[in-house]
Amino acid sequence: MKAALSSLTVVVAVLSCAPARPWAAPPALPGSEPLAEPGDLAAEMVGGIDRYLERELAAGPARRWEATARVLEEIEAELGGQPEASRSGLRMERWLERSETNRVRLGHLLGVVDVREPVSMRFLAPVGTNASPDSVEVGRGPGYRIYAVVWNVFRGVEGEGLLVVPEGEPKADVIAVPDCDGTPEQALGLVAGVPVEQQFARRFATMGYRVLVPALIDRGERFAGNPGVRAVRHSQRETLWRASYEMGRTPLGYEVQKILAAADWLAATRTAGPRTNLMDWPGVLARVREPGRRRQELGVVGYGEGALLAFYAGALDRRFLAVGVCGAFGLGWRVAEQPIYRNVWSLLDGFSEAELAALIQPRGLVIEWGRYPEAVHTDEHGGAPGRLWRPALAEFEAEAKRFTDQWPGAGVEFVRRGPESVCDGSTTQRFCERLAGTVRGEPRLGAQPEAVGTLPDPVARVRRQYLQVLEDTQWLMRESEYTRREFWKQADRSTVAKFVASAESYRDLFYRQVVGVLPPASLPPRPRSRFLYETNGYRGYEVVLDVHRDVIAFGILLVPTDLRAGERRPVVVCQHGLEGRPRDVADPSVENPAYHRYACRLAERGFVTFSPQNPYIGRTRFRQVQRKAQPLGLTLWSFMVRQHEAITDWLARQPFVDPERMGFYGLSYGGKTAMRVPVLVGRYGLSICSADYNEWIWKNVSARAPYSYLWTSEYDMAEFNLGNTFNYAELSWLIFPRPFMVERGHDDGVAPDEWVAYEFAKTRRHYVKLGMGDRVEIEFFDGPHTIHGQGTFDFLHRHLRFGGPAREAGALDGSAGRVP
């Protein structure tokens, strides 16, 4: 089976919509070889795409190594005439210049794009007390005091945590970020829950550093989910990923912004030397650094999720003179196996862990292979499966070697420790030496600090943090219409020709930055076919076409037998929805209430119809394939575009097909396809979106609407930064000036009529204003999530210029009202 299907394949079954009768099998379709593949081709197709992506992931480390090597070779060539003594410094200078572009791109992918507000630090005092030094102090250790603090970031998003202030002048500033399932209080030893030797933030406090310990949103599901749909539950971090990803942000990016805002404050303030000055309220800890004073060193270190954040923050912000990564390095190339809230669009197309480490050069970087957090998320309640684990030492060493091979002698230390080590004394010493110079002896933990005031409620703190980020995604959603309006300002709407020309840059951006570009077909098509049967009106064949190695696609083609010699008919590609199969659309023996055999009914009218299998089948399996694609800058749409190119190219070569008259008509997920694939496959001369067109950004991001994908099992729906660039109206503009139609049932639960009409008004206005009002239409009918097959059939006849037989009487159900 696998040997026979070793290529990206298009399988086409030619069937009839009339009862079959016995027939002597004719030869295979002219121009094709015999086809013999059995089995579930839909499962094989999804599995093949999976194998394709696995190969790409496996090849990724070497590919990224070669890309970095080319850059270093270019730098060496530029320095060819420089004296050897100065080459090292110049090499690093040129690298830093080039890495700025990468830094900006990394910030975009993480969603670190919002301008932070001027930051201020607030000290949390228990309710009912006066804000005085004694009332806000929550803990005290040998030579330092601990305060509960809050600082602003932007738009109501705040950071929270604990601030450690030494009694004398601090040696340096350190942001110490615990894992998200830990708390600042545990990292400092104020409460139980973390073994003493893993209280890494406490080491820095004992050493006389000013230490800020941020709180993160944990992996639990306490506050996530829709109270009305408790059957679907996923982690708080996954909820935030779903909402933020569509808006060009990520949970990682929000928490990196909190760290950078804390760095803003630490960089702008200083602590006074004498202990008495520390108590100079309200100026305590908030004095602007006096002109001429020595700039205080700033470092960031973390464990687990905190280590990943420290790694990103250090790569983005050169103010961090030392970066510590404990319990995160070595997992990067297996990001698709990790929890979805670590998913970053196209991260591996430019930012392997070795490349992140290179962005930190020449500053200090210490990476520890010790304890790693362990976590498991399942798909049992509709969330995305994922896990965290400690990588094998060989995996850690392999990525470390990729860095050291290209940066010999760099200021990076890879530290190997036992499975319970979290930034131990030796690792801390190395970090501090890179931050503030020589450290005498291995840092000790010192006496345990004691709580002297009311400690923050960690549950209430997580809730505040979660709701603040969630609300920010809702603000971005509400503003997205205006953001897209600004984004589209460069489109020239003065004439049809000028708009089409100016829209090409938007089409290119949609393809590269939202869909992802899969390489064109790498194999000749080599069609193979087998005859199925003939009825009183149609003949049937299955056809296989090669596109790329190892992945397949297939569909059902219905071809009328009354074709005259040399006659070419229009083709309608009829696309099924989620978990569907071509038989749902084009098998006369299957009455699926969503489709009503509409491919058969169109064939009865004389159209050639083709019903492909799209890869959104297999529930969690296909969604996990999507997970593997996204870090590579690909999506399932990337594959579907190439499949539909292969299908339409093959159809165009058939003697019974008019290549200038091809239309697309899809329902549900097929409607999603109708909004995307025809944008990028130029052979489609029109597109009909049934049972899907709506205010798509609200549909994906809204935390309030019962229609929202935020609370369902479809974690594959989010598309990075789509909300700021392309809603369905804007995608229809990229279909323009080709005819476009929407089919909408009043009882369709995808979205309410109001959402559909609101979005479609922008589509229709665009066509009308450019003189193409006769090419755009919407049909409302009194019915559910289904093909209505009335106005849409007229639309196909009219715009594919095909009279065909008399229209069949009546609609499938209900009554229709079309808005031309």
Residues 619-644: tens digit of each pLDDT: 999 999 999 999 999 999 999 999 99
Q: Which of 381, 431, 259, 271 is nearest to 711 (CA)?
A: 381
Q: Which of 564, 525, 518 is nearest to 653 (CA)?
A: 525
pLDDT at 231: 66
Task: Give the pLDDT band of residue 27 (cuts 50, 70, 90).
Answer: low
Q: What CA–CA distances, in Å, run from 448 to 144, 183, 191, 206?
A: 11, 16, 10, 10
Task: Give the pLDDT band of residue 289 (cuts 50, 70, 90).
Answer: very low
**Six-digit token pair at 264?**
């803003």
Sign for the pseudo-dihedral over CA of 447, 448, 449, 450: negative
CA distance 711 to 448: 43
Task: Give the pLDDT band of residue 783 (cuts 50, 70, 90).
Answer: very high
287 vs 364, higher pLDDT: 364
pLDDT at 228: 61
CA distance 335 to 450: 39
Looking at the predicted structure, is the pLDDT value of residue 250 above 90?
yes
Determine the Cα angle at 588 with ends 797 and 804, to 5°: 20
CA distance 649 to 658: 11
Record the pTM. Answer: 0.92
Looking at the predicted structure, is the pLDDT value of residue 209 above 90?
yes
Sign for the pseudo-dihedral over CA of 605, 609, 613, 616: negative
Mean predicted confidence (pLDDT) in 238-258: 98
Task: Give the DSSP H/E element, type plus range, for residue 423.
Answer: none
CA distance 600 to 555: 13
Mean predicted confidence (pLDDT) in 474-497: 98
Could you tell me if 14 and 532 are in contact, meaning their C-beta atoms sit under 8 angstroms apart?
Answer: yes
Min mean pLDDT across 100-114, 554-568, 758-772, 789-803 is at 554-568
Backbone angles phi and psi of 662, in degrees to 5: -120, 130
**Six-digit token pair at 642?**
């190439």
CA distance 309 to 336: 18
Looking at the predicted structure, is the pLDDT value of residue 123 above 80?
yes
CA distance 20 to 540: 11
pLDDT at 288: 29
pLDDT at 820: 36
For 651-655, the CB contacts below 8 A with 24+ separation are 651/571, 651/608, 651/610, 652/683, 653/31, 655/566, 655/568
**Six-digit token pair at 362?**
């020449």
Task: Give the pLDDT band of residue 539 (cuts 50, 70, 90).
Answer: confident
Residue 294 burial class via C-beta count within 10 angstroms: exposed 0-12, middle 13-18, buried 19 and up: exposed
Mean predicted confidence (pLDDT) in 366-375: 98
Could you tell me if 487 and 725 are in contact, meaning their C-beta atoms sit under 8 angstroms apart?
Answer: yes
Looking at the predicted structure, is the pLDDT value of residue 348 above 60?
yes
pLDDT at 2: 39
Sign for the pseudo-dihedral over CA of 418, 419, 424, 427: positive
CA distance 568 to 654: 9
Share of the chain residues as helix, strand and coil, in percent rounded to the nearest 5: 40, 20, 40
**Six-digit token pair at 652?**
């165009």
Helix (H, G, I), strand (E, B) or coil at 553: strand
| Rounded percentage of the chain residues whose pLDDT exceeds 90 | 73
Query: pLDDT (tens digit, 9 = 90+) per residue, 70-95?
Result: 988 888 888 887 777 677 778 888 88
Q: How many helices (H) and strands (E) does the chain have?
A: 23, 27
Task: Give the DSSP H/E element, type plus range, for residue 803.
Answer: none
| Strand pairing class (740-745; 686-690) | parallel
CA distance 156 to 149: 15
Looking at the predicted structure, is the pLDDT value of residue 755 above 70?
yes
For 270-276, the CB contacts below 8 A with 24+ separation are 270/296, 271/165, 271/166, 271/169, 271/170, 271/210, 272/169, 273/168, 273/169, 274/168, 275/167, 275/168
Residue 588 burial class via C-beta count within 10 angstroms: exposed 0-12, middle 13-18, buried 19 and up: buried
CA distance 351 to 8: 28
Min mean pLDDT across 415-429, 585-599, 797-811 is at 797-811
Q: Which of 533, 673, 538, 534 is nearest to 609 (CA)?
A: 538
129 CB neighbour count, 10 Å cutoff: 12
Contacts of 339 (CB under 8 A, 6+ apart): 219, 235, 237, 238, 375, 377, 384, 386, 387, 388
Could you tell me if 123 and 147 are in contact, meaning their C-beta atoms sit under 8 angstroms apart?
Answer: yes
Residue with tokens 């992931």, as numbered in its chain: 57
Looking at the predicted structure, is the pLDDT value of residue 308 above 60?
yes
pLDDT at 403: 94
**Six-digit token pair at 222?**
């306490």
Residue with tokens 């604990």, as numbered in its chain: 162
318 vs 32, higher pLDDT: 318
What does pLDDT average to over the chain?
Answer: 89
Could you tell me if 169 and 209 are in contact, meaning their C-beta atoms sit under 8 angstroms apart?
Answer: no
Looking at the predicted structure, is the pLDDT value of residue 4 above 70?
no
> Furthest-apart CA pair in the chain: how many Å?
102
